[in-house]
Every structure is written in structure tokens, then in C-alpha cells.
Amino acid sequence: MHIRNIVTHPNNLSAELHGLAEQFKQHAVTVEEVIRVLQERAYTLLIILFALPFCSPVTLPGLSTPLGLMIAIMAGRFALGLPPWLPQKLRRTVLPPRFFRRLLEGASRLIGQLERVLRPRLLAMTATPRLVRLHAFMVCLAAVTLLIPAPIPFSNTLPALGILLGAAGVMERDGLAILGSYFFTTIGIAYFVLIALMGGRAWDHVRDWLAGIF
């Protein structure tokens, strides 16, 4: 994932998103155009943008699977040390100007609040490419959890927070945010495991009850 260079890109993340909203406010834009404008920062910003809609406790049916898949593809390639990439079909996806601007402005406000606490710290956690690839793997794992279609409260929120803090933490070299990302990802996985175990036990009770009847 991309670490922001304060010399070549002095603006913080919220300013980047606001500027992008202004640039594309008058016409529909494709994902390809966004990637072309943002260059090497594009895929990390797309990971953040795709995770943001799921940071609320309300489950968004039908969206977590495709967006989680795109996050997993991008983060997985970062984790493997491969060039960032998305399938051509996804790159041609058209984002209507009103929708895209609302998404970017909403993201800019939310990230602006997060940036009040984001700052370079625990720099050893982003000191080597191998460590950054490890964090990208964790984001990929959170994305795999996100794409599971489970209409359960907080099933989207926990992995989405892991993705958001992981990508933003790497971009701003904030080791504390990265630790928070590991925390939310771990809790999210444990939450799914607990739900699966509870579901298995409930099914056992139902099966025993049906066996008693028939």
C-alpha cells in the first residue's frame, strides 16, 4: 500500500478526497479515470473509499461482497508485492457525478475527523516493505471477512474498520492506527466464528427436535 510522500503530496487524505470531488463534480467518471489522476495513490485511496460505506453498524446488503472482493484483490496484490491491478471490467465502471461527489465529500469529512488523531508514530511498523506487505495481507484478510454475505449487525463494521485503519495507517505511517486495524480485524473474525458456532448449535437443537417429532 502507498505511504504518502509529504514532499510530492503535501496535502492530507481529506484534502486529496475533497480535491478529487471538485475535479469530477461536473461529469460522470470511471474508475479508470480516478486511477489515472491519482497515479500511485489510487489503489490505497480506493481501498479506503470502498470500506467507508460499511463503517456504520447497519449492514448494507448486496454491496459488501463486490466491494469486499475489489478490496481483497487490491490488498492481496500489495501483500504479494505485485503491481496494483483491477480487472478491466471493474476499471470501466462508471461513477455518476452526484453519487461520486457525495461519496468523496462524505469520505473527506469522515477522514478529516480521523486525521485529527492520525500522525506518524511507531514508525518501526512501516520501516520496511516487508512490514507494509504484512499489513496489506491483514487488510486483505479483513476484506475477505467483509465480502461474506451475512445480514448481521456489525458484521460489516468490524472488518471495514480494520480495512480503513490499516490503509490510512500505512498511508500516514501511524503505527497505532495499524495496531487498531489488527484489533478490529481479529475481533471481526472472532465474531464470525462465534456466529457460526452459535448457528451450528441452533441447527443441532432443531435437528434433534425434528427427530423427536418424526
pLDDT tens digits along 135-156: 999 999 999 988 876 667 677 8
More confident residue, 88 or 60: 88
Question: Could you tell me if residue 80 is inside a domain?
Answer: yes
The rounded distance, in Å, linking the Cα atoms of 141 and 184 is: 11
Question: Could you tell me if residue 172 is inside a domain?
Answer: yes
pLDDT tens digits along 5-52: 554 555 566 776 777 777 766 677 777 877 777 766 778 888 888 888
Around Cβ 89, how many Cβ atoms within 10 Å?
A: 7
Question: Could you tell me if residue 4 is inside a domain?
Answer: no
Question: Could you tell me if residue 189 is inside a domain?
Answer: yes
CB 181 within 8 A of CB 106: no
More confident residue, 41 or 119: 119
The rounded distance, in Å, linking the Cα atoms of 214 and 139 is: 48
Tell me which residue range forms the domain holding 151.
Answer: 13-213
Q: CA nearest 139: which of 83, 74, 194?
A: 74
Question: Could you tell me if residue 8 is inside a domain?
Answer: no
Burial code of 193-206, b = ≥16 C-beta within 10 A, e = fewer? eeeeeeeeeeeeee
Question: Could you tell me if residue 3 is inside a domain?
Answer: no
Q: What is the pLDDT of residue 210?
A: 47
Question: Could you tell me if residue 65 is inside a domain?
Answer: yes
> Considering its fold, how many domains does the chain have in total?
1
The strand pairing partners of 174, in sequence order, are 121
The rounded distance, in Å, linking the Cα atoms of 23 and 101 is: 9
Rounded to two decimals, the pTM is 0.79
Cα dihedral sign, 12-14-18-20: positive
SS3 of residue 94 by DSSP:
strand
Question: Could you tell me if residue 187 is inside a domain?
Answer: yes
Cα distances (Å, whole numbers) of residue 130 to 40, 58, 78, 79, 135: 18, 35, 10, 9, 9
